[in-house]
Amino acid sequence: MAVMAFRDALNLALREEMERDPAVFIIGEDVGLYDGAYKVTKGLLTRFGEWRVRDAPISELGFAGLGIGAAMVGLRPVVEFMTWNFAILAMDQIVNSASKMLYMSGGQFPIPIVFRGPNGAANQLAAQHSQALEAWFCHVPGLKVVAPSTPRDAKGLLKTAIRDDDPVIFLEAELLYSLKGDVPEDPEFVIPLAEAEVKREGDDVTIVAHSKMVHVALQAAEIVEREDGISAEIVDPRTLRPLDLDAILDSVRKTNRCVIVEEGWTVAGFGAQVVDDIQREAFDDLDAPIARVTGADVPMPYARNLEQLAFPQKEHVVEAVRQVCYTSSSS
């Protein structure tokens, strides 16, 4: 076990999988000579050479398509987007080619490809670079969607994603790249997809959160326990599609209350699907309506004070918990 940053855990996963399987290669903007925009691919060009660490031109549609073609003939590409905001330019390849090729070929062409990069807001990157787009990709059959919240999960889930025979959307929160934590150094350490984890045990309310919202939820849980005596359980799905619904339902049936926290927008957000799943499968177990905490339904402002108002904060989660537990003055 070693303590390392989130970005270094991703780097270790990439290095181990490239050493394990010569079919794995990386392509994207600045992944080679520059060591990656966020240094996730640091040192890999020196170790593996330019045929396996390929700097691409600024053409997301082009190099995403190249990766899909390579996957069709047996390679295992890892396609890095400098930000998932830029992946919008590659949506045709991701949605119309990667997700559908296995189905449309009658099972002849599996697409073992990982699309990865930073998702969501950082600090003052403004509206075009601060979008949490996981709900878009969760909407598409044929894609698997992963959003780790810790360095340990980042390593274990990325290794599993690279070994998977289906296209995986791997969403890394930009604000988590410097987060440090314990990471197993075992090169065979992997975490299965579609397996949630309880990040904090509790009895009074379930908080479902993924990616960096897990850390916002953890802060809120400490506050409500200290100030209100409310014991909050935090469930991190880790894989958003396919979703480990059983883990969420088990927690809700124990606590009888639920708050869902996500960075993305409210309308048609990922949390809306979770609400539907819970009310269909565990309606009689609920003692209060499910609450959602989301980003504001606006383009992300550039100004720091406005950005903080638009981004889900621990105070928002605290208020939602108090509402579902009927301890809020507005309940």
Phi and psi based region of residue 30 (left: phi greater than 0; alpha: psi -120 to 50; beta: remaining): left
In Å, the largest CA–CA distance within the chain is 62
- Classify each residue of 150-188 as buried b or exposed e, where b means 16 or more C-beta atoms within 10 Å of its C-beta: bbbbbbbbbbbbbbbebbbbbbbbbbbbebebebbeeee
CA atoms within 13 A on the CB side of 166: 18
For residue 49, what are its two tokens?
A: 């050479």
Write out the catalytic residue numbers. 60, 129
Cβ-based neighbours of 21, under 8 Å, separated by 6 or more: 76, 162, 163
Measure Cα distances from 15 to 21, 46, 77, 168, 197 in Å: 10, 11, 13, 18, 26
| DSSP H or E segment with residue 310 | helix 304-310
Torsion angles phi and psi, residue 117, rounded to 5: 155, 180
DSSP state letter for 297: S
Question: 212: helix, coil or strand?
Answer: coil
Q: How far apart are CA 66 and CA 266, in angstroms?
A: 34
For residue 70, what are its two tokens?
A: 């390579």
For residue 67, what are its two tokens?
A: 């990766």
